[in-house]
């Protein structure tokens, strides 16, 4: 059974995700095509499984290198925010509107980290904080893992994937 919600998609009649993005001075970028044999998102019932995205914009990779040597923790945080914007773009294409989001369920954040770097959670906070800014606490708060990797494709600073619950149409 679908729960009642206002027309702007917000849980309590407040500001919806698109209005929040606008207030942040952001718009969703065009979705990036997959770079291999996979789908950016798979919808199964009321769950959307989003493939990993990276900190890429129209000019290419924005944050490249290892956090802790090539990039600062602040750079990693910004990379996670940009990556999350790309995830939201893929999500919108998969379900038609961010207003259908019922709950961000799970985030897996991977940090391209120097061997002695241990601040993976603060880097991935860039994603978590952004999701709460866009969807509010009730919808945006989620379960999460933040891990370090020896490398990531194209030497991107972070890769993040998500599982999202949506309202059925």
Cβ–Cβ < 8 Å for 79, 86: no
Which CATH number fits the domain that encloses residue 113? 3.30.1330.40
92 domain-assigned: yes
For tokens 């290419």, the residue is 60
161 domain-assigned: yes
State how many domains the chain has: 1
- pTM of the model as a whole: 0.91
24 domain-assigned: no
151 domain-assigned: yes
1 domain-assigned: no
Question: How confident is the model over 86-117, as pLDDT tens digits?
Answer: 999 999 999 999 999 999 999 999 999 999 99
13 domain-assigned: no
Question: How confident is the model over 17-38, as pLDDT tens digits?
Answer: 999 999 999 999 998 888 888 9
């Amino acid at each position: 059974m679908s729960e009642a919600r206002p027309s702007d998609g917000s849980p309590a009649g407040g500001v919806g995700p698109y209005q929040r993005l606008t207030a942040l001075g952001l718009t969703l970028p065009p979705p990036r095509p997959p770079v291999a044999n996979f789908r950016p998102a798979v919808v199964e019932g009321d769950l959307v499984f989003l493939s990993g995205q990276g900190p890429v914009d129209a000019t290419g990779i924005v944050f490249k290198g290892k956090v802790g040597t090539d990039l600062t923790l602040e750079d990693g945080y910004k990379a996670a925010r940009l990556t999350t914007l790309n995830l939201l773009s893929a999500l919108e294409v998969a379900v038609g509107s961010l207003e259908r989001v019922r709950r961000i369920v799970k985030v897996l954040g991977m940090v391209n980290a120097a061997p002695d770097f241990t601040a993976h959670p603060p880097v991935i906070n860039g994603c978590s904080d952004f999701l709460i800014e866009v969807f509010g606490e009730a919808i945006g708060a989620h379960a999460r893992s933040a891990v370090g990797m020896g490398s990531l494709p194209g030497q991107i600073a972070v890769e993040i994937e998500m599982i999202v619950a949506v309202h059925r149409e």
